[in-house]
Amino acid sequence: MESLNRSQIDRFLTAVGQRCEPDTTLYLLGGGALELLGGARPTIDLDYVSDDLQPDILQQLLSQTADEMQIELEAVPIAEFVPLPQDADDRAVFVGVFGNLTVYVFDPYTIALSKLDRGFDTDIEDILFLVQCQLITVETLADFVETAVTQAKQFDLDPAAMRQRLQIVRESI
């Protein structure tokens, strides 16, 4: 699978924006979202926030457009994987308007929490990118980690691993 670049993502979002209902909003996360924020790490797919089991009309449109353009697309029910930090909805980062589609990157702290949970080297790189862009601070992320680990069993989180990965982020800054 070939990696996605900004131009391909823009073309995809424009195609969706031409076909969707007016005032449609899409929240992205993962590597594709970070690409739209200026990240340089290659990604092979575009992740968006949605229920992955009950596709709605927008998801069907996204899927059809992705198939036509040969783009790997994934619906991610992020609230099932990590507890959403307080005021997560207020921290979405505006990306742009593509026809009828308004696109945001989902809360950077939620993205960072999910990446701390998974813990790949590329996830640590992505967190460092969010810090460098001043979209998150390590101090606030640490507070959100401590809140999240109180719900570790509900979300199948590993508190020790998350704290260890947060320490790696701190040492890498």
Q: What pLDDT digit, counting tens, does each position of 21-62 carry?
A: 999 999 999 999 999 999 988 889 999 999 877 779 999 999
| pLDDT confidence of residue 55 | 79
Whether residues 77 and 21 fall in one domain? yes
C-alpha count within 13 angstroms, C-beta hemisphere, residue 135 = 25
Rounded Cα–Cα distance for residues 148 and 134 (Å) = 22
Which pLDDT band, with edges at 50, 70 and 90, does 108 fall under?
A: very high
Specify the 3-state DSSP secondary structure of 77. Answer: coil
Whether residues 141 and 86 fall in one domain? no
- The percent of residues above 70 in pLDDT, for the chain, comes to 99
- Is residue 149 domain-resident? yes
**Is 91 buried (19+), middle (13-18) or exposed (0-12) by CB count in 10 A?**
middle
Across the range 124-138, mean pLDDT stands at 97
- Is residue 1 domain-resident? no
Specify the 3-state DSSP secondary structure of 74. Answer: strand
Domain boundary among 107, 122, 143: 107
- Largest distance between two CA atoms of the chain: 46
Domain boundary among 107, 136, 156: 107
Across the range 150-173, mean pLDDT stands at 97
Q: Structurally, how many domains does the chain consist of?
A: 2
Strands 45-49 and 72-76 turn out to be parallel
Whether residues 86 and 31 fall in one domain? yes
Whether residues 93 and 143 fall in one domain? no
Average pLDDT across the chain, whole number: 95
Whether residues 126 and 141 fall in one domain? yes
Across the range 149-163, mean pLDDT stands at 96
Which pLDDT band, with edges at 50, 70 and 90, does 172 fall under?
A: very high
Specify the 3-state DSSP secondary structure of 97. Answer: strand
**Is 1 buried (19+), middle (13-18) or exposed (0-12) by CB count in 10 A?**
exposed
Across the range 144-160, mean pLDDT stands at 96
Residue type at 113 in one-letter notation: L
Whether residues 149 and 101 fall in one domain? no
Whether residues 88 and 120 fall in one domain? no
Name the one residue in this structure whose structure tokens are 């797919």.
45
Whether residues 12 and 93 fall in one domain? yes
Whether residues 52 and 93 fall in one domain? yes
Whether residues 77 and 50 fall in one domain? yes
- Is residue 130 domain-resident? yes
Across the range 9-24, mean pLDDT stands at 97
- The percent of residues above 90 in pLDDT, for the chain, comes to 93
- Is residue 23 domain-resident? yes
Whether residues 91 and 147 fall in one domain? no
Domain boundary among 56, 91, 107: 107
| pLDDT confidence of residue 42 | 85
Q: Which two tokens stand for residue 54?
A: 């009950």
| Enclosing domain of residue 66 | 6-107
Whether residues 64 and 101 fall in one domain? yes
Which pLDDT band, with edges at 50, 70 and 90, does 1 fall under?
A: low
